[in-house]
């Protein structure tokens, strides 16, 4: 029976333990705490740290740990020693960083037990150390991935809020800009009040620019992407940047000749580069260097696993690197939040980098930031490669005065916007049927002897939204034209394919002139039989 087997002789047990210690991949050791030197260490220390057993035995504890790990161990040892002296010895588990002979470090998990040597009364610790560098790297990658996911979710939530604010604000701006423009049209050119309407229009335009930045951050703006040679685009922008950043900053471009083409909105790309260049300029008040660099990049699954917003594939990498003051980790974690700024009052809106973030994400790219205080900042932008040929400049469309006599069915739940749009259309000769919601619009369109040439509708409305209303009206009037208007590209519009400019979409805020021109363009395109 197994239970009746005699115990191993002491000499045999020692032989087996010696074989185990000499061949195990973990490091077995005995440390004399009174002297600080190892009494025994197994040969696997060479595999772990690249040093021989004799070297390890002469190094002592101080050289066996990095300063941080030594400080940690020095902090917990007194309590452990006290427990041993009181006969309460335990087994302890620690994660410690150890230096290697080649200058690198290795993370280890150490299981140890302090004991008192009965022969000399010295306090000794016996233990086993295992290499956990790979596990630590995986844990760190997972932590960074979770942190980036949380940051991405946070920015997504802020973006939803920003998009909603921009939507409501754009309705107000539509009323302000339209009212000022209509009033300006009625005033004589020499009227003293003309300067006030000009100020209102100027302020309205600046406010509209702010809402466009909010929409860029929330990725709810309309883009006009083109296939571009990134190097050519940067060459054009660099001419303007040299005047913008000043003579005390050296601008250098390092453009790879083999870079892939990208599909982006040229105007938005210019805005991204200008915003980053201005930030770099402000970070170098005493002068410095700004480098704009391009290269090809291939992102694999391993890279993308720790960056939830990225996708594997070929990218064009656009880097902007400055020699400025740099950022702390706390600042770097918040730079893409709208209205967050480290600049003084009146020196920035806090929307520049938020706009950059939104444009890049809406262009299906992603952006990374490396920065340290006193060591400058590097923004790296990855834009997906495009295999399509580069676009050629399109011929400018003929300008129209916007006047007409057709019947427009206007549907808008915001009464001030509805009234102003109605005034603008009627002033240009159109017949307007105005409704405050989709139900009223259906009733108006169904009235006897009613002919509707174009439906002008808001997108998001109570009960019946614009796309649903258009679908119902097109069943009754197959030839009816549809023009949507909205303050932002929300999920409803994205589902209907309005992430890029369309003849059938008008972005709020709009002026009366832009409204009637858009209506005229749509009515003049591909005329069909009236319903």
Each residue's pLDDT tens digit, 492-511: 555 554 544 455 888 777 77
pLDDT digits (tens, 9 = 90+) for 443-497: 998 888 888 999 999 887 888 888 899 989 988 888 899 998 876 555 455 555 4
d(CA 40, CA 273) in angstroms, rounded, equals 61
Q: Residue 297: helix, strand or coil by DSSP?
A: strand
Task: Output the pLDDT for position 290.
Answer: 94
Which are the contacts of 397, defined by CB distance < 8 A and separation ≥ 6?
521
d(CA 417, CA 423) in angstroms, rounded, equals 10
CA 447 to chain centroid: 50
Task: Output the pLDDT for position 1.
Answer: 43
Task: Output the pLDDT for position 417.
Answer: 83
Flag whether the pTM goes above 0.85: no
140-160 CB burial, b ≥16 within 10 A, e <16: eeeeeeeebeebeeebeebbe
pLDDT digits (tens, 9 = 90+) for 265-306: 887 788 788 888 888 998 898 899 999 999 999 988 888 877
Cα→Cα distances 387→39, 163, 234, 237, Å = 66, 32, 19, 23
* Pairing between β-strand 261-264 and β-strand 226-228 as defined by DSSP bridges: antiparallel
Q: Residue 140: helix, strand or coil by DSSP?
A: helix
Q: Are 493 and 521 contacting, i.e. CB atoms less than 8 angstroms apart?
A: no
Pair of tokens at residue 447 = 């009235």
DSSP 428: T
Task: State the Cα angle at 516 between 515 and 522, rounded to 5°.
Answer: 95
299-324 CB burial, b ≥16 within 10 A, e <16: beeeebebbebbeeeebbbbbbbbbb
d(CA 402, CA 394) in angstroms, rounded, equals 22
Task: Output the pLDDT for position 214.
Answer: 60
Q: What is the CA radius of gyration of the chain?
A: 35
* Pairing between β-strand 431-435 and β-strand 407-411 as defined by DSSP bridges: parallel
Q: Residue 274: helix, strand or coil by DSSP?
A: helix
Mean of the per-residue pLDDT values of the chain = 80
Q: Are 126 and 136 contacting, i.e. CB atoms less than 8 angstroms apart?
A: no
Q: Of 186, 378, 207, 196, which is closest to residue 279 (Cα–Cα)?
A: 378
Q: Are 430 and 518 contacting, i.e. CB atoms less than 8 angstroms apart?
A: no
Full 3-state SS string of 171-219: HHHHHHHHHHHHHHHHCCCCCCCHHHHHHHHHHHHHHHHHHHHHHHHCC
d(CA 26, CA 138) in angstroms, rounded, equals 20
d(CA 203, CA 349) in angstroms, rounded, equals 16
pLDDT digits (tens, 9 = 90+) for 219-264: 455 556 788 889 988 988 887 788 778 888 999 999 998 889 898 8
Domains (range + CATH), the chain: 2-131 (3.30.450.20), 144-217 (1.10.287.130), 226-386 (3.30.565.10), 407-524 (3.40.50.2300)
Q: What is the DSSP string of 67-85?
A: HHHHHHHHHHHHHHHHHHH
Pair of tokens at residue 373 = 């205080």
Which are the contacts of 156, defined by CB distance < 8 A and separation ≥ 6?
none
Span of 2-6, 263-267, 527-531 with lowest mean pLDDT: 527-531
d(CA 372, CA 177) in angstroms, rounded, equals 44
Full 3-state SS string of 94-129: EEEEEECCCCCEEEEEEEEEEEECCCCCCEEEEEEE
- Indicate if the pLDDT at residue 35 is higher than 80: yes
Using a 10 angstrom Cβ sphere, with 0-12 exposed, 13-18 middle and 19 or more buried, the burial of residue 411 is: buried
Residue given tokens 């019947």 in the structure block:
407
d(CA 408, CA 482) in angstroms, rounded, equals 10
- Indicate if the pLDDT at residue 361 is higher than 70: yes
d(CA 383, CA 261) in angstroms, rounded, equals 9
């Amino acid at each position: 029976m197994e239970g009746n087997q005699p115990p191993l002789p002491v000499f045999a047990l020692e032989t087996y333990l010696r074989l185990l210690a000499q061949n195990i991949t973990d490091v077995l050791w005995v440390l004399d705490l009174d002297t600080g030197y190892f009494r025994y260490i197994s040969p696997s220390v060479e595999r772990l740290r690249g040093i021989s057993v004799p070297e390890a035995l002469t190094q002592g504890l101080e050289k066996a740990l990095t300063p941080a790990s030594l400080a940690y161990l020095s902090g917990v040892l007194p309590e452990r020693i006290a427990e041993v002296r009181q006969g309460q010895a335990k087994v302890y588990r620690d994660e410690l960083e150890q230096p290697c002979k080649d200058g690198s470090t290795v993370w280890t998990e150490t299981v140890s037990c302090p004991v008192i040597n009965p022969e000399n009364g010295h306090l000794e610790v016996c233990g086993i150390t295992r290499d956990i560098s790979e596990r630590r790297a995986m844990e760190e990658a997972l932590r960074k991935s979770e942190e980036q996911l949380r940051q991405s979710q946070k920015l997504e939530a802020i973006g939803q809020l920003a998009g909603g604010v921009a939507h409501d604000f754009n309705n107000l701006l539509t009323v302000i800009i339209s009212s000022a423009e209509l009033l300006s049209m009625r005033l004589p050119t020499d009227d003293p009040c003309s300067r006030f309407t000009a100020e209102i229009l100027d302020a309205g335009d600046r406010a509209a620019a702010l809402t466009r930045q909010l929409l860029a951050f929330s990725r709810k703006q309309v883009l006009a992407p083109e296939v571009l040679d990134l190097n050519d685009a940067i060459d054009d922008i660099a001419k303007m940047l040299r005047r913008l950043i000043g003579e005390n900053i050296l601008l250098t471009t390092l453009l790879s000749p083999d870079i892939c083409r990208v599909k982006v909105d040229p105007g938005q790309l210019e805005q991204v580069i200008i915003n980053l260049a201005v930030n770099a300029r402000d970070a170098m008040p005493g002068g410095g260097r700004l480098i704009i660099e391009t290269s090809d990049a291939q992102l694999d699954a391993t890279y993308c696993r720790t960056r939830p917003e990225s996708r594997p594939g070929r990218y064009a990498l656009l880097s902007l690197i400055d020699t400025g003051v740099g950022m702390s980790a706390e600042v770097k974690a918040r730079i893409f939040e709208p209205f967050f700024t480290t600049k003084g009052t009146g020196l920035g809106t806090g929307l520049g980098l938020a706009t950059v973030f939104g444009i890049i994400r809406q262009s299906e790219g992603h952006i990374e930031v490396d920065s340290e205080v006193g060591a400058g900042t590097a923004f790296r932008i990855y834009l997906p490669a495009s295999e399509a040929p580069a676009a050629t400049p399109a011929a400018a469309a003929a300008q129209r005065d916007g006047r007409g006599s057709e019947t427009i069915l206007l549907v808008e739940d915001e009464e001030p916007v509805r009234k102003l749009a109605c005034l603008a259309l009627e002033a240009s000769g159109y017949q307007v049927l105005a409704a405050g919601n989709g139900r009223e619009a259906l009733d108006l369109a169904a009235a006897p002897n009613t002919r509707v040439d174009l439906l002008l509708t808001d997108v998001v409305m109570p009960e019946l939204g614009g796309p649903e209303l258009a679908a119902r009206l097109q069943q009754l009037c197959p030839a009816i034209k549809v023009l949507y208007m909205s303050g932002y590209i929300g999920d409803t519009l994205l589902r209907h394919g309005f992430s890029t400019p369309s003849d059938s979409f008008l972005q709020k805020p709009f002026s009366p002139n832009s409204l009637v021109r858009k209506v005229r363009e749509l009515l003049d395109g591909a005329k069909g039989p009236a319903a």
